[in-house]
Structure 1
Amino acid sequence: MTTTVRTARITGSGDSPARLRWTPPGPVHLGQTLRVLGRGADDPTVRILNEDCVWITTRSSGLPVSARFSRPPRVAGENPLDRDVVVDAWGPGAQQWLPSAPRWVGHGDSWEEFESSAGFAQLPHRLVRARHDHPGMRLPATGTVLDRAVVSILEQRVTAIEAVRAYRALLRWIGEEAPGPAPRGMRVPPTAEQWRRVPSWQWHRAGVDPARSATVMRTVQRASALERLGREPDPARVRAAVQSISGIGVWTAAEITQCTHADPDGVSVRDFHLADYVCWFFDGAPGSDERMLELLEPWRGHRQRVVRLIKASGHRKPAFGPRLTPQDHRHH
């Protein structure tokens, strides 16, 4: 997914990094916006060093890219969220990828329609306050549908600990080292062909059961179509299209477009925690997916924004009983 950014300058040649300096049209919080892309502190493709310095890896036309999002030093009296965004990129695909970098931190994601709507006025005060306190929170649009699909498939029906462990292991074995001075341990997401070459024993060694590995394999067979979907402007159409792949359902589709298309409405139905989380906020009691959707209905079109505001508000649901025990599929 690319975009034309008039308030940006791209420089760099030879061994120096390619650089884009972008002036956002409103506040942008780098850490808060990009954190949704990562899975833990040691994610091989996303590394948040601090709220104003985030590294990512990706590909452009199959070519490796590593990039650092940062801000220039703060000037006295300046709003820190209004500063320029500086993106330095390394690797064969750096120059080609840079014009799309602003979309990763919310260029094209506007909260104005939502904030001026009657629905916004109906939000609980705590959520209105959360938006006031987090004006730089935006929804990212990476356009990398295949990469996000693989991550989301690995998270199906298992704990976050299991999914993160599997993804890190697989990228450590088959992912290329990130170009440039990226933090140690960062890897570039594999190409479709690299995923196709992963043998069954290696999936097993990573703790990925046959159902999930088979879904990944079916997905990478559609890599060209998924690349085209990355340029599709309507996230609802993308959600519908990816569900044509056997093994990808409503939950996985929403998890994809929330990151690839700044999807303002995609809700992760059938999530292990989300329904209870949302229902506890509104009802003060646990609930079902059906109840969650009923509660979010007044904000249809912006339901993912409401979910993000609930999280930004600091809400926590009560914890009862033991955590779900991770299952080690390598011994079955």
Structure 2
Amino acid sequence: MPAGYDLAGTLGILPRGRQDPTCRIGSGGVWLAFATPAGPVTLHLAARADAAATAVTAGCWGPGVEAALAGLPALLGAGDDWSGFDDPDFQATLPRLVTEPRRRHRGLRLPSTGRVFDALVPAVLEQRVTTIEARHSWRYLVARHGSPAPGPAPAGLMLAPSPAQWRRIPSWEWHRAGVDPKRSATILRACAVAAGLDRLAALPPGPDLAAKLCSVPGIGPWTAAEIAQRTHGDPDSVSVGDFHLAAFVGYALTGRRTDDAGMLRLLQPWRGHRQRVVRMLGLSGVRKPAFGPRLSPQDHRFH
């Protein structure tokens, strides 16, 4: 990888919180546990930089080693091309709140995991609930219904449940995890077409991919965008329908809150790179004021 490559920053979009049992990012590198068509795998990545380049070393354990190593360049964002974004003429169109974070984070890439079903489940859990609720649900379900990661993995590193394992989770366990019937039903519908979903990794990012993801009842534009950002490194997808994003983008770019339509109008001049713009705004340090009441946690366990 090029000099200055940021391993933790690139893969930081993958874990669902610091306590995600399937992913650990820290001073000792990055640990990931996931399934491949050949079987489960534990992957450990560490970066060592010098003035000329950044060497990323990989340790792999489990039946899925070959598949994991084959997908490693895409996972690291090796094919993510920022040259158009970094072109001086394009940079001249961007506000300082975008260009300055880009200057400080030249080593950031957009990763492509290629694991569509794996990205879909936590995205569905995040639909219309607080981040705290969604992360608790993910941790609870993976810890109770996933599988230990193969090899010399850190204690507690887990594989997320397979589609068959998700289907075996009883209704009361979804309730204990705080997942309402609508979201659990969406996940179960996705389990029935999991193989087809994973074949979508071969498609380029864009409207066709989004349309195919949205063909699963319960998957809408927000969820499709959240998936594509992780599985395809989509440089243009915008999470329309996010509870906070439109207001944040509006405040960062104009000093005023806006809605989804207004956010898309603001980002339109940079179409093709809108996700890059959003990522840089997120790294700018800008925080929007609290415009209204927070989304309140909901308890679905007794409904």
Give the TM-score normalised by structure 2.
0.95
Q: Which residue of 1 aligns with 2:82?
A: 111
AA at the equivalent of 2:247: D
Gaps spanning 5+ residues in structure 2: where? none
AA at the equivalent of 2:158: R
Match of 2:219 among 242, 245, 248: 248
Distance 1:180 1:295, change over 3 A: same
Aligned-pair CA distance for 1:255? 0.2
Q: Which residue of 1 aligns with 2:148?
A: 177
Per-residue Cα deviation, 1:250-298 (whole angstroms, up to 9, x for no partner): 0000000000000011000010000011000011111111110010000
Aligned mates of 1:279, 1:308 — CA distance in 2: 14
CA contact (8 A) 1:28 1:105 kept: no
Correspondence list, 1:312-327, <5 A: 312-320=283-291, 322-327=293-298
AA at the equivalent of 2:6: H
Correspondence list, 1:1-332, <5 A: 24-25=1-2, 27-50=4-27, 53-61=29-37, 63-72=39-48, 74-75=49-50, 78=51, 82-116=53-87, 118-320=89-291, 322-332=293-303
CA contact (8 A) 2:119 2:230 kept: yes
Distance 1:117 1:254, change over 3 A: farther
AA at the equivalent of 1:49: G
CA contact (8 A) 1:119 1:298 kept: no
Give the TM-score normalised by structure 1.
0.87
Aligned-pair CA distance for 1:325? 2.0
Aligned mates of 1:236, 1:112 — CA distance in 2: 23
How many equivalent pairs are there? Answer: 303
SS in structure 2 at match of 1:253: helix
CA contact (8 A) 1:62 1:191 kept: no
Aligned-pair CA distance for 1:201? 1.6
Aligned-pair CA distance for 1:226? 0.8
Aligned mates of 2:22, 2:38 — CA distance in 1: 15
Identity of aligned residues (%): 49
CA contact (8 A) 2:38 2:67 kept: no
